[in-house]
Structure 1
């Protein structure tokens, strides 16, 4: 059985940054936890004159799903036709967020493949792909 993508698609961090640069209506939403933003870092869009929307998909440490997620996105201006790019650590939570938004008729919604930190390397470090490893602007939260 083939997996059917239920959102607009997976895009690389580089493609995401270019989309944010080229489309003033595009929105970047970091769905990681407050702990991740604080201790790992955040994408820095100040060079584009923009800000990333930080909105937890799940809370830390219990992992409870944020049931106000969709409402917050709509409050932040997400509508049908406005492109939204979801970012998490490695692309799992952000894909789930893109699926939810698409099911609600919003977006197009994209998943940032490899996320902020990407997959583990052979030493168990997240340093081979993702927003940080691609050399895109970021800052410590």
Structure 2
């Protein structure tokens, strides 16, 4: 495996709560953050890092993602950073971001497999089948 593995939203919350250096990186787009919401880590004394894996509206992968991640983490890299947990809508983009961060030298990169909204239900709606919100974890919306 070319990243540390997949974890559920509840496991991600536990890691964030137990590991002082753990960081949650939301790799969705600005419209998703604004209109769907973001994980709220205030109770843990942390903030979610907002860094798009793909640029809206063309959804091209950001070629500078690794450099921007390093800048967001204050220049820290590799073993000097606690676990990095990547989240997107459903777990696909975040898996790609975890793989890219691992290739860039970060040691513990996890994918939050169900993402923020989870998989679609029979009516093609998200939010009823897994995900951060469905798990009842804190989130906010501007």
Q: How far has the Cα of 1:31 moved from its partner?
A: 0.1
Provide the residue aligned with 1:86 in structure 2: 86
Structure 1 residue runs of 5 or longer lacking an equivalent are none
Distance 2:72 2:21 in 1: 12
Question: What TM-score does the superposition give when structure 1 sets the normalisation length?
Answer: 0.93
Aligned length: 137
Q: How far has the Cα of 1:76 moved from its partner?
A: 2.3
Matched, 1:104 2:100: no
Provide the residue aligned with 2:63 in structure 1: 67
Q: How far has the Cα of 1:68 moved from its partner?
A: 1.8
Matched, 1:118 2:118: yes
Deviations 1:4-53 (A, max 9, x none): x2100000000000100111101100000000000000000001111000
Q: Give the CA RMSD over aligned residues.
A: 1.0
Q: Which runs of 4+ in 1 moved over 2 A?
A: none
Q: How far has the Cα of 1:125 moved from its partner?
A: 1.1
Distance 2:138 2:125 in 1: 20
Distance 1:54 1:85 in 2: 12
Question: What TM-score does the superposition give when structure 2 sets the normalisation length?
Answer: 0.92
